[in-house]
Amino acid sequence: MKIKKYFRLPDPKNLAQIGDQIFLIAINLVLVILILNKPLNTFISTDPPPQIEVVSREKGHIGYPVEAGMHIENFHEFDLTKNKFVLNAIVWFKFNPAVLSLDTIEKFSFEKGDILSKSEPRTKLVGNKVLARYRIKFKFTSNLDYRAFPLNSHRLYITLTNKTVSPKEMLFQASESGFTLSKNILVPGWKKTKHRVITGYSESLLDRTDPTIKIQHPVLVFEIDFMRSGIRQLLVLFIPLFFMFYLTLFSLSLGATQYTSRIGVSLGNISAFIGYRFVVEGVSPKVGYSMFIDLVFHLLLFISFFVFFINLFTKNKEYARLRGTAILIIHTVFIASWYYLCRIWLFKS
């Protein structure tokens, strides 16, 4: 009996009062921020890597090894939303001129990219090898996946190749120290975390009925990881959404004498949600699959419709307990859904 005296469940009828609703919204908002903390501080990238085959001597890949590397000086254009990149870089190769000619080396190119300008090679002798350096400017796109937008990080792939030779004639060699980035590179809203180099070869099957008809080229993949360094875009996207959402919830606390106001507020917010969808669409990547921002938008819009119907069918004063119960259910369902999206779906996507 004493336990019941001191620990009583709140009366759902009281939850429909303005003061209790404000308290629940405050708790809800704190939980939203706490749950969002992990995605904001974790590298989340689902960008698919290019298909690179591993060099194998058993397959006859005995080409002459050519050391290669790249130094990125700056980005002229860096747009991860539109997948457009233009940069200045120095590409270098170290090879034995008795085995390979400079004419063969300088026929390098980039997958999913175009060289806009390339300088004449600057060469010097290093032991019995020639070091050739090219100052280039090129544009490229990368394999970007936007399922976690706007919480996603990205891994850029720059694939260097030479399509005039096969792995039986030449192979790329590289080390982490041969891939460098200038300290003066500044990418607003993003920060570089890691970078690495992968060597191998690409293979294209020319006839799917005959696996022997194929072409192979040596490739060198430069990877760069970028994480968001600011939350401006998140605030621009999420603050209006959550403001409309919490305003919709607040409409449930308006009394029975304010029935018209409750209907007007909830219906007006549904219209605002639909209008804001065009804003979200304008700043989001143009893809054919659902992103994180889409799922959040659909969740909030669905709850807003639910609130509208609750307001529509709870006109009289005796429905206060029902509205209070609906408030508790909505807060619980939203936090559970938000946790699932931020902690489970986001890291599985």
* Amino acid making up residue 29: L
Asked if 46 and 152 touch (Cβ cutoff 8 Å), the reply is yes
Between 11 and 5, name the one with better pLDDT.
11
Report the chain's terminal Cα–Cα distance, integer Å.
50
Task: Quote the pLDDT of residue 39.
Answer: 92
Give the model confidence (pLDDT) of 324-346 as tens digits. 888 889 999 999 999 999 999 99
Would you give the DSSP letter of residue 140? E
Using CA atoms, how far residue 175 sits from 69, 172, 178, in Å, is: 8, 10, 5
Instruction: Extract the tokens encoding 103.
Output: 């004419």
Band of the pLDDT at 7, cuts 50, 70, 90?
A: very low
10 Å CB burial of residue 177 (0-12, 13-18, 19+) is exposed
Task: Quote the pLDDT of residue 275.
Answer: 93
Structural domains in the chain plus CATH codes = 10-41+232-348 (1.20.58.390), 57-228 (2.70.170.10)
Instruction: Extract the tokens encoding 31.
Output: 């939980």
Q: How far apart are the C-alpha atoms of 115 and 87, rounded to whole Å? A: 10
Q: How far apart are the C-alpha atoms of 104 and 162, rounded to whole Å? A: 8
Give the model confidence (pLDDT) of 198-237 as tens digits. 999 888 877 777 767 788 899 999 999 999 888 888 888 9
| pLDDT (mean) for 164-193 | 90
Q: How far apart are the C-alpha atoms of 266 and 245, rounded to whole Å? A: 9
pLDDT of residue 147 exceeding 50, the answer is yes
